[in-house]
Chains A and B, each alone.
Chain A
Amino acid sequence: MNAYEKIGIGDVHVFGSHTFTAESIKRFARKYDPQVFHVEEVGAGETSFGRLCASGWHTASAMMRLLVNHFEAEEAKARAAGEPLLVSGPSPGFDDLRWPNPVYPDDTVTFTARIVGKRISKSRPGWGLLSMTTTGVKQTGETVFMVTTHAFVETGAAV
């Protein structure tokens, strides 16, 4: 079986955890999302969030970093074992992104992904589209992030 064929629906990938410091929350938000509840503690206290919380795009971006690290490590393992490598292409987008609870300073979020779909691309011969639902859960057990992303991967089959 090649790398594409080996991917199973339901396969789980634990990406790891990230802790959001107040400083990192404010640094990201000053550049990309300077709403009061993302940039200053006092002002945030007067909003419905009640306190400083991370921009949802900061949470998403932190997930991406752990995703990249995880799949790089998987690739290194496959290479070391002499197994076929999965070649991935760009992502056309995502669906159902949710921010059900805020991420506050010093929250630690653990991101875990599950493969939910895999199909041969009609528009790109030799490529498939892989869909993955990634969830971020913080130390309290509350879900803070969820998304179903799609990405092109080589099928390895000469179509």
Chain B
Amino acid sequence: MTKRYFEDFAPGQIFELPDVAVSRADIIEFSRQFDPQIFHLQDETPITEFGGGLIASGWQVCSLFMRLLDDGLLINSSCAGSPGVEHLKWQHAVRPGDHLTGRTTVVETRGWIGNPKLGLVRFHHEIFNQHRERTMMMDNAILFRRRDAA
């Protein structure tokens, strides 16, 4: 596959990303380090109106999505980082044994003030579980080096 530069992105393009299985051990390992709340650490949790049982930290879901985006798109691109995320919604809990897959849609491409060698691509990212329930969505801009600046 040829390397993608800023010029290779256009609004409306959809990239299907790879998939990843999430194990109980993965969830607990991440949570112990970064988000040690009871519902991210053990199976037995208080049942509230929001549900119960072990669920992944939302920040782990972000990180897992990042890996899918890297493997599916960014590793073989001129990606030069990201200024941030406009909006993110956690819509469905991720649980042990879930199988996640991602998709991203190009919303807009434009120049980047401050560095003419780069361009900005705005994406709408989505991550789904094995039941095709959307677990998370996010609007995120990513910088790419232009081909003629490579």
Contacts and interface: CB of A to CB of B under 8 A. Distances in A.
Contact of B82 (A91, A92, A99, A124): A99
A11 interface: no
Contacts of B70: 33-35
B81 A89 contact: no
Q: How large is the interface on A (under 10, 10 to 19, 20 to 34, 35 or more residues)?
A: 35 or more
Interface of B: 30, 33-37, 48-50, 57-60, 62-64, 66-67, 70, 74-75, 79-90, 93, 115, 117-118, 145
A139 interface: no
Contacts of B62: 57, 60
A48 interface: yes
Interface centre among B48, B49, B63, B90 (most CB of A within 10 A): B63
Contact of A37 (B30, B60, B81, B118): B81
B67 A33 contact: yes
Nearest to A71: B37
A97 interface: yes
Interface of A: 28, 31-35, 37, 47-49, 55-57, 60-62, 64-65, 68, 89-100, 102, 124, 146, 152
B61 to A, nearest CB: 10
A124 B51 CA distance: 13
B5 to A, nearest CB: 13
Main secondary structure of the interface of A (DSSP, over half): mixed
Given A93-B58, A97-B86, 5 more contacts: A61-B33, A62-B34, A64-B59, A68-B35, A68-B37
Interface centre among A28, A35, A47, A91 (most CB of B within 10 A): A35
B66 A47 contact: no
Contacts of B81: 37, 48-49, 56, 99, 102
8 contacts: A32-B64, A35-B79, A37-B81, A48-B115, A61-B59, A92-B89, A96-B86, A100-B84
A64 B32 CA distance: 11
A143 to B, nearest CB: 11
Given A35-B79, A65-B36, A98 B84 contact: yes
